Amino acid sequence: MIVLGIDPGYAIVGWGVVRYERGRFAPLDYGAVLTPAGMDFSRRLEIIYDELLALIDRAKPDALAVEKLYFKNNQKTAIDVAQARGVILLAAKKRGVPLYEYTPLQVKSAVTGYGQAEKPQVMEMTRRLLGRPRNPTIPPMPWLSPSATGRWGARPSSAASLPGGGHDGGKRSQDMYYSVRGDLIHADPKMAVIECGGVGYKCHITMNTARQLPPVGQEAMLYTVLNVREDALELFGFASQGELTCFKQLTAVSGVGPKVGLAILSELSPERVALAVAAGDFKSLTKAQGVGAKLAQRIVLEMKDKVGALAPSGGMELPEAGVPGGVSAAGNAAEAAAALTVLGFTPGEAAAAVGRLDSALPVETLVREALKTLGKR
């Protein structure tokens, strides 16, 4: 029995195909149908419908499973996703494929035995049910080739094998674009457009990055991260790896989205963010737009955990929360190394980078110079 599973959406429709035989599941294929933001919505629905018909024709599933929708807050998103889900159901009906609908609670209960399971638990049990290795690099399945059974053809051009998708509104970022380099064709305090091979990449940027951009018309390079939303794919660009790393650390905090991450890094440099976290100085973070005292305290609390492993390296001690650095040369070095671990470097890397510098320098200077050294690796 072959089952086609659909995670409905309108920017990204995730899909997967499995074979169920003798009590075991085997993955056959997976991917997504993508529609770009800004396109006429009726055209996006048409693309989803056409691609799903083509997918059903190739997979020839015995059943199609689709998630039932549940939206608590965003009614606009709910309406749009419901329309996309409607054309998915229509495609199944047109091809005469039996349709089965399941709520997230039902899926979680069936897969993990617990209806309130977290996403990592569901992912782990799914991996086990499908017999997949941990952290796999997934090549195309062998039976997708022309020499296989013939039931499967090539994937449609718009069906990209992207992780993520669906409509859960959670944080999803991808490292598929590490950086972009090309001619800077537009720049303002919040956005830069870099043209590469005739394609202009719109990057949301911080004020710090904006100040470091060359004049329009000259070559520019930004380190990037792709944020996947239900209604858009957004690219964020940064002038340095340190700023990119700090952005990722910030947006990993509960309640901190990309806009808040950009606001913080527009107000504070990565070095100042790291120092604020290492010293427990949440008030510095409240200078950024959209960051209140409670959120700032949460940022300090959640990012503080990334500092704790420093002490064993080189005998340095971490600065105590709330105690500003600069009381001694050794204290400066310890605080700078602690700040570097907040930015994602290992304690060993941080200690080695700071150890090459004059520990009498101010903490922020030590962090800045160490980042230059670490960035060359």
137 lies in the same domain as 61: yes
Which residue, chain included where needed, has tokens 């919505």? 41
CB 64 within 8 A of CB 3: yes
Q: Give CA–CA dist 142/245, Å, rounded.
A: 37
Residues 135 and 226 in one domain: no
Q: Of how many residues is the chain composed?
A: 377
Angle, CA of 240, 243 and 248, to the nearest 5°:
130
In a domain, residue 163? The reply is: no
The count of structural domains within the chain is 3
275 and 212 part of one domain: no
Contacts of residue 353, defined as CB under 8 A and 6 or more positions apart, other chains included, come to 337, 340, 345, 370, 371, 373, 374
Q: Distance (Å, rounded) from C-alpha 206 to C-alpha 189?
A: 7
The region, left, alpha or beta by phi > 0 then psi within -120 to 50, assigned to residue 15 is: beta
The predicted structure's pLDDT at residue 71 = 56
Tell me the three state secondary structure of residue 145.
Answer: coil
Domain membership of residue 226 (yes or no) is: yes
Pairing of strands 199-204, 219-228: unpaired
311: left (phi over 0), alpha (psi -120 to 50) or beta: alpha
Same domain, 9 and 140: yes
Element (H, E) at 327: none
Answer whether 285's CB lies under 8 Å from 264's CB: yes
CA 175/CA 190 separation, integer angstroms? 21
Report yes or no on 152 lying in a domain. no
Q: How far apart are CA 240 and CA 227, in angstroms?
A: 18
Q: CA 366, CA 359: separation in Å to the nearest integer?
A: 7
The type of residue at 122 is V
CATH number, residue 15: 3.30.420.10
> Is 235 found in the same domain as 248?
no
Q: Residue 285: its pLDDT value, please?
A: 92
CA-closest candidate to residue 341, choices 273, 288, 294: 273
For residue 340, the model assigns a pLDDT of 77
Q: Are residues 56 and 98 in the same domain?
A: yes
Burial of 112 (0-12, 13-18, 19+ CB in 10 A): middle
Range of the domain at 197: 173-239
pTM of the model: 0.46
Phi, psi of 160 (to 5 degrees): -100, 140
Quick one: 225 and 318 in the same domain? no
Mean pLDDT by 10 residues, the chain (377 residues): 91 91 88 86 92 92 87 65 91 94 86 78 83 59 32 34 36 64 92 88 92 92 83 85 88 89 91 82 89 91 59 37 42 75 73 77 82 70
Could you tell me if 213 and 254 lie in one domain?
A: no
Q: From CA 341, how far away is CA 172, in angstroms rounded?
A: 23
248 and 212 both lie in a single domain? no
162 belongs to a structural domain: no
**Residues 355 and 232 placed together within one structural domain of the fold:** no
CATH code where residue 212 lies: 2.40.50.140
220/250 same-domain check: no
Query: Pairing between strand 199-204 and 233-238?
Result: parallel
- The CATH number of residue 254's host domain is 1.10.150.20
Residue with tokens 């160490």: 370
